[in-house]
Amino acid sequence: MERALPADPQPAVRNRTAGERALLDSFAAIPRTERVRLAKRTSNLFRQRTATVTPGLDTSGLTGVRVVDTGTRTADVDGMCTYEDLVAATLPHGLAPLVVPQLRTITLGGAVTGLGIESTSFRNGLPHESVLELDVLTGTGEIVTASPTNEHADLFRGFPNSYGSLGYATRLRIELEPVQQYVALRHLRFRDLDSLTATLATIAETGTHDGEHVDHLDGVAFSRDEAYLTLGAQTDDPHPDGPATPSDYTGQQIYYRSIQHDDPNPKRDLLTTHDYLWRWDTDWFWCSRAFGAQNPQVRRLWPRRLRRSSVYWKLVALDNRTHFSDRLEARRGNPPRERVVQDVEVPIENTATFLSWFLDEVPIEPIWLCPLRLRSTTPWDLYPLEPGRTYVNIGFWSSVPGGAPGETNRAIERAVSDLDGHKSLYSESFYERHEFDRLYGGERYAVLKQTYDPDFRFPHLYDKAVRGA
């Protein structure tokens, strides 16, 4: 059994690491009258936050993989470790996290406290459902270990979707699963949304399609009559009806464009497992087109190492600081465009209805589709999806012509709530407090907040998600 250093995960838990000591020291240095935040240079959040001059928490020593245990198929990982670094440590052992969110710089702690999803979520649920235990810096200034059965089991159940409002993960022990060398893909075209969602529901339930097993499942809707499901199967042997060598979408070819076809039969493709996990990162799904990176002439000049989501995010952050896009719209005589960057979860039986409404009302395409079924048999406190029920994550990331502030986002929130869904809180939200508490476990959250952050050192979840605290 091969292990990464240190060989035994337990000493790093009992005796605080240098990174944890630095974190605790930085917490103690923040005046008790000031709110506590992370000191981060990058983020995958898309909501405006109130500026602050207070120094943030020092997490610089909490970015690594502590242990990969191939015998138990687990890993002990720092909370600020990116999935890019985590996957780099596990793939050489033929292992991967049960759910690997699409973007390289998402951190493990961020995916657990803020939720994450990917094409294994129809069988593996959400990232927090493969967490066995985690260490959390709470608002009392101590690091506690939370597991499903110990004295902090309430924090374990309430940490997902708390977005740092109850504390920050310093270490997480997670399950891993075996993976093979390649992912063989089948892209299925659908000309109506009802057929697509019916097929998606069946695959999510059975894990098979046309006699072939399915390990990965997601989709893209370009319009009402052009939508696709992509079925992936882990394999060491390429399918005889597919390509013999893996495709490369880190160069001139663009992954989401490769999905499109007009054939009644599935279009087959092959990717290495590594490239499959990061297939969306090179072009930030399709959002790189906003920066010209999909223009063939520009793409040839854009260094390959800079074709990644973290670079595009920095360009968005620069635009937010300079308001360049808003000034450009003003020169054209237009109001600022409304940013509509959202992921929502809608029950599968209501998905076609939502998509039809969205395609009629919101001028954004393509739309990402990713099915989800919880692994857990009980709901999670702050994101209470129903166990045993199939949901579809619907992602749309762009902007629309400006109207009343938040007009389109508010309409989306109403439509999602009417269809018994939820939306992720990484972007702007406009809920009234009573509706927010109803959707996101408000009563349970109040108890957890009083227990683990009684002095409100961290902002309240509603203040972070809606008020921009």
Query: Of 59, 225, 155, 27, nearest to 444 (Cα)?
Result: 155
Q: What pLDDT shows up at residue 6?
A: 38
The confidence score (pLDDT) of residue 8 equals: 39
Average pLDDT over residues 336-348: 94
pLDDT in tens, 26-41: 999 999 888 888 876 5
Report, as an integer, the average pLDDT of 295-302. Answer: 95
Quote the pLDDT of residue 321.
Answer: 86
Residue that is written with structure tokens 């986002």 in the block: 409
304-333 per-position pLDDT tens digit: 999 999 999 899 889 888 888 889 888 988
Tens digits of residue pLDDT in 281-295: 999 999 999 999 999
Q: Tell me the pLDDT tens digit for each residue of 237-273.
A: 988 888 889 999 999 999 999 999 999 999 999 999 9
Percent of the chain past pLDDT 90, that is, above it, reads 82
Rounded-to-integer distance, Cα 329 and Cα 335, Å: 6
Q: What is the pLDDT of residue 155?
A: 98
The reported pLDDT for the residue numbered 149 is 96
- Helix ranges (DSSP H) in 141-233: 153-158, 193-206
What integer pLDDT is reported at residue 13 of this predicted model?
A: 44
Q: Is the pLDDT of residue 342 over 60?
A: yes
Instruction: Between 46 and 446, name the one with better pLDDT.
Output: 446
What local confidence, expressed as pLDDT, does residue 11 receive?
Answer: 38
Q: Is the pLDDT of residue 48 over 80?
A: no
Q: What is the mean pLDDT of residues 113-128?
A: 96
pLDDT at 241: 85
* Predicted pLDDT at 33: 86
Burial class (CB in 10 A: 0-12, 13-18, 19+), 245: exposed
- For residues 92-106, average pLDDT: 96
What is the mean pLDDT of the segment spanning 43-53? 56
Do the beta carbons of residue 365 and residue 228 sit within 8 Å?
Answer: no
Cα 423 to chain centroid, rounded: 12
Give the total residue count for the chain.
469
Better pLDDT: 170 or 323: 170
Which residues are within 8 A (CB) of 55 and not within 5 positions of it... i.e. 6 or more apart? Answer: 26, 29, 30, 39
Neighbours of 467 (CB within 10 A): 15
What's the pLDDT score for residue 414?
A: 96
Query: Looking at residue 51, what is its pLDDT?
Result: 56
What whole-number distance in Å separates Cα of residue 176 and Cα of residue 199?
28
Has residue 369 got a pLDDT over 60? yes
Residue 50's pLDDT band (cuts 50, 70, 90): low
Domain boundaries, the chain: 9-179, 182-279
Q: Does domain 9-179 have CATH number 3.30.465.10?
A: yes
Instruction: Tell me which of 95-99, 319-323, 437-441, 442-446 is least confident.
Output: 319-323
Q: How far apart are CA 234 and CA 179, in angstroms?
A: 7
Q: Give residue 3's pLDDT band: very low, low, confident or very high (50, 70, 90).
A: very low
